[in-house]
Amino acid sequence: MAFRHPPIEARAYRPHDPDFRRRFLQAAFVGFLGSLGIFWGASQPTSPFPGFSRQAIAMTPTTPPVWFFGVPGRSAVPNLHVAPSPSFYLALFAFYCGMVLLMRSWIRLGRLAREYQGIPVRLYAWVMVAWTVPMLFVVPLLSKDAYSYVAQGEMMSRHISPYVYGPSVLGTGGNSYTVLTDKLWWNVTSPYGPVFLALAGWIQVLVGHSELGGLVMFRLVAVAGVCLIGFSIPRLARAVGRDASTAFAYAVMNPIVLIHLIGGDHNDALMLGLMLAGLALARRHPVAGTVLVTLAALVKVPAMVGVIYIGWDWPGPAAGWKERVRYVFFAGAIALAVMGAVTQAVGIGWGWVAALTNADTIRSYLDPVTALGLGLAKVVGAIGLGSHPDAFLFAFRAAGAVAAVSIGLVLLWRARGGASSLRAIGLTMLAVVVLGPVMQPWYLAWGVVILGVVAEGRLRGWLIWLTVLVTFLGVGDATYFVGALRSVNIAIFGAAAAAALVLLIWPCWGRLRAGLASFRRGRVGGPAELGEEMGAGL
C-alpha cells in the first residue's frame, strides 16, 4: 500500500499574516500553560516527580532544604501506608496535563514551521525562552543525578578523586551529600569526564559548599548547554540545506530538552551543546571543531561519535574510503592530545575510562537489552534449568554492544557528509542508547536532538512518537510514587483520571477520528505519521 505524508500547503511567511499569528500565538501560549502545569504539579509538597528521596529527608535531621519550595519538611514526610493527600492528586493531574499541553504545542509549532517558509528563528527562540522560565524554578525533576553532581563536585573541591572513591567517602548517616545521592552510586566511581568534574568542583567552591547553591548552578549549566544547542542547530540546518526554524522547533524545543535536560539539571545538555557547536564549527574549521567535540566527550564519552564523523567528512564528499579513514585517525589523534592535556591539567587521571564499566550497577527493565537478558533468565529458571541472570545479562549486553557498533559502522560507511552524516550521527547515538547496558529517558536526547535537524517523512513521525513516549518515562521518587499509588482513594483517582481524559481528548477528537480514518485508507504514512496528523488539530 502506498502511503503519503500528511498534506501541508507550503506558503511564504508574512509577518502580519493573521492566520499565522493566531495559530502561532495560540500554540505558544498553550505550551507556556503546559510548562506552568509541570512546574505546579512538581511543586506540590506530596508530588512524586521531584528527584529527591523522602526517606533521605526523613533520616537526615541536619539536611538543609533541597529546594526553595515544594519540599516537605522532615516532620511532614508522607507516610506510604496511608492514603495520599489531595495535593498528590493535584500534582498528578497538573503534571501530566502540562506535559500533554506542552507536547501538543510542540507538534503544532513544528508543523507551522514546515507550512510557512522563512519564519525567523528568533520567533521560536522567544517561545523557547517563555517555556523555559517555569523550568528554571522547578525542583530537579525525575532523577537524582543532580544530587550526584553536587556530591562529586564536593569531593573535587576537597581534593578527593571521584575516580577512586564514591560519594560515601564524604560520610554516611546524617551526611546530606551522600544521602541525597541515589544509593546505587554511593560506592561507585564517577563515569563523567574530567571537564565536567572540574566544573563541578569549581561550582561547589563558588557556592561555598552549599547543596542548594550547587543545584541552582547545575541548573544554569544545563541552560547554558541548551543555549549552545539553540545557537548551533540553525547553523547546522542551513549548512545541510534544511529550514532553520523547523530544525529549531523539532530539536531545541523538544519536550525531552525542556523537561529532562533543563528540568532534570542533566549534564547531557552540556555534552550535546559542546558537541553540536563543534560539529557546526567543523564545517569550516575542522581542527577547532574537533577540539570542541573532544571537550564534549570529556563531559560524557558518547560525544566521541562526533570526532569520528568530523574526520570522516573532513576530505570532502568525493573522497575515497582510504582517505576518509586517514582523516578519522588524524581527528582521533587531535582528540587524544586534547584529552591528555585536559586530564593532565585537572590532575585526577583517566579513571573515567575504567568507570565506563559501572553500568552493571543498574539493572533496569527500562533498558531493552537488560530486560531481555533478565527476562529470559527468569523463564529459564521457571522451567527448572537453573537461574543464571548474570550469564544471560552478560550475553545480551555483549550482543547489544556488537549490534550497536555494527549499526554505527554501516551508517558511517554510507554517510557522505551534510544531512546524511547528521542523520547517521543521530541514528548511531540512538543505537548506542537503545542497545546499551543502561537506558535513561534523557539519554534519548543524544539522538533525538540531532535527528530533529534532518528528520523528514516517516523518520520525523517516528521522532515525534519517540519523544512523546520518552517524555512520559521516569518518575522522581519511585518508591514514594509506587507506595502512594497503592494507597490512593480509587474514587478520587478515577474522577481525576476521567476529567483529565475528557480535557485532553475533547479538543482533538475530530482530528483523531479523521487521522485514524486516513490511516485505514492508506493516506497517512503509517503510525509514525499519525502523530503529526493528530497534532495538527490539538
Ordered per-residue pLDDT tens for the chain, 538 residues: 333 445 566 777 788 888 889 999 999 999 999 999 999 988 887 777 777 666 656 555 555 567 777 666 554 555 555 556 667 777 888 888 898 889 889 999 999 999 888 899 999 999 999 999 999 999 888 888 888 899 999 999 988 989 888 888 887 655 677 777 877 777 888 889 999 999 999 999 999 988 889 999 999 999 999 999 999 999 999 999 899 999 999 999 999 999 999 999 999 999 999 999 999 999 899 999 999 999 999 999 999 999 999 999 998 888 888 899 999 999 999 999 999 999 989 888 888 777 776 656 666 767 788 888 888 888 877 787 777 777 888 888 888 889 999 999 999 999 888 889 999 999 999 999 888 888 888 899 999 999 999 988 888 888 888 888 888 776 666 666 666 666 666 666 666 666 666 655 655 555 556 656 665 665 544 444 445 544 444 4
- Residue 140 DSSP class: P
- Say how many CA atoms lie within 13 Å of 209 toward its Cβ: 8
Tell me which residue of 142, 143, 113 sits closest to 127, measured CA to CA: 113
- Spell out the alpha helix ranges (H) of 54-193: 54-59, 86-115, 121-137, 145-157, 176-179
* Dist. CA 127–CA 121, nearest whole Å: 10
The three grid cell numbers given for residue 512, joined into one nine-digit string? 483523531
Q: Please report, as a single letter, which amino acid is at residue 244.
A: A
* Nearest in space to 529 (alpha carbons), one of 58, 111, 75: 111
CB atoms within 10 A of CB 244: 20
Q: Which residue has the cell 531493552?
A: 368
117 DSSP β-pair partners? 12
Residue 121 CA to residue 123 CA, distance in Å, equals 5
